[in-house]
Structure 1
Amino acid sequence: MAYLSWAESYVGQLRALAGDRVLLFVGARAVVRDDAGRVLLIERSDNGHWAMPAGAMELGESISECAVREVWEESGLRAAAVTPFAMYTGPDRTHTNMWGHTYQVFTVAFRVDRWSGDLVTTTEETTDARFFTAAEFPAPISTSVIETLADLAAFERTGHLVVK
C-alpha cells in the first residue's frame, strides 16, 4: 500500500475543486484490540488527539478496504479480517476541522477481528500509537472513541448493526 499525501487524496483533490462548500466525507474507523482486550489508540499528528485509526475512503476501494488501509497507515498493523458494526450519518455529523473545512461525515466503524505485524508508533499521520484499557485512556481523546466503543459493545451484545 502506498501512502497518499493530502493533496493526492480524493478528499484533498475534491476540496481543492470545491473551495469552501460543505463536502460529504465517507470514511472508516477501526477498533483494534490486542489479546488482553486493550484498544489501539493513535495520537494524531494533525491535532494531537488520541483516536482510533480512521480516515477517508479513496476512489477505487471499498469501505472495508479503507478500514484496513487506515489501520496499516496509522499503526503498521495488517488487518486480516474486519466486521462492520456501526454507521454514523446525518446532518448532526457535520463538523468544521482545524483548517476551516466543513464536512458532513458518513463513517462506518469496523471491528478488526484478526491482525498481524508489529506496532509502529510514529507514521506520517501519527506521533504515537499504543494499546490502552479504558481506565488508561490518554487525553486529549477524540469524542468518537467512547461512542464507538459503546456501539461496539451494543453490537457484540445484540448482533445488530448500530445506525445513527
Structure 2
Amino acid sequence: MPASEYVRNLRARVGQEMIMFPTVSAIVLNDRGEVLLHQRSDNGHWTLIAGLMDPGEQPADALVREVEEETAVQVKIERLAGVVSHDVTYLNGDQCQMVNIFFRCRAVGGEARVNDTESLAVAWFPLTALPDLNPFTHRMLALALDDNAPPYFAAPGEGGF
C-alpha cells in the first residue's frame, strides 16, 4: 500500500530524515497452532503482519484493521506481548524509528489470502516449520507465545532486543 497522506505530508517536510512512527504487529494463531505470516512485496521477506497507526487511532483498532487489510483474516486480541522500538531504513532511503506494540491474537474469521499490494504471499506456518525470519521477528514470536511472560519492554537504560 502506498504511503498515507499523513506520511507523504511529513516526508515532504523532512525528506528522508528520521521520523518516529507508532506501529503495531500481530502474532496471529489459528486453531491448529499455526502462525500467520506474509511475504512483503517491498523486500520479499517473510514477517509478521504489521503496519503504521493512523493519527487518532487506538493500537488495538490499528492491529485489527492491518490484519484484515493485508490478509482478509479477522482477529481477536488475546494479550499485549510487548512494546519495543527499532530503526528501519527503507529501500528508497527513508529512515524511521518504529515504536512497535505487538499483540498475540487468535484468528476468528476470514480466509488467509493476499488482500492488498503489501504482500506477495500470505500463509499459515506450523511453529516447527517457519520460513526464514529475522532475529527481531523470532524474538517477538517467542515473547508472544510464552503464556508466562509479562509484556516485554526494555528497562530504562537497555537497548531492547
TM-score, reference length from structure 2: 0.86
Cross-structure match for 1:110: 103
Matched, 1:131 2:128: no
Matched, 1:97 2:76: no
Distance (whole Å) between structure 2 residues aligned to residue 129 and residue 94 of structure 1: 25
SS at 1:86 equivalent = strand
Aligned length: 154
Q: Quick one: percent identity of the two aligned structures?
A: 28
SS at 1:123 equivalent = coil
- Conservation of the 8 A alpha-carbon contact between 1:51 and 1:144: no
What runs of 5+ residues in structure 2 fail to find an aligned partner? 155-161
For 1:146, which of 133, 138, 152 is the aligned residue? 138
Greater shift in the superposed pair: 10-19 or 57-66: 10-19
Distance (whole Å) between structure 2 residues aligned to residue 63 and residue 26 of structure 1: 9
| Cα deviation code 1:60-106 (max 9, x no counterpart) | 211111111110111011123352210003xxx22322111111110
| Cα deviation code 1:114-133 (max 9, x no counterpart) | 52111123522111111112
Cross-structure match for 1:157: 148
Runs of 4+ in 1 over 3 A off after TM superposition: none
Distance (whole Å) between structure 2 residues aligned to residue 68 and residue 134 of structure 1: 22
Distance (whole Å) between structure 1 residues aligned to residue 5 and residue 68 of structure 2: 16
Change (3 A) 1:114 1:76: closer
Cross-structure match for 2:22: 26
- Conservation of the 8 A alpha-carbon contact between 1:43 and 1:129: yes
For 1:86, which of 76, 82, 89 is the aligned residue? 82
Superposed counterparts of 1:48-87, under 5 Å: 48-87=44-83
What runs of 5+ residues in structure 1 fail to find an aligned partner? none
User: More helix by proportion, 1 or 2?
Assistant: 1
Q: CA deviation at 1:144?
A: 2.9
Superposed counterparts of 1:32-47, under 5 Å: 32-47=28-43
TM-score, reference length from structure 1: 0.84
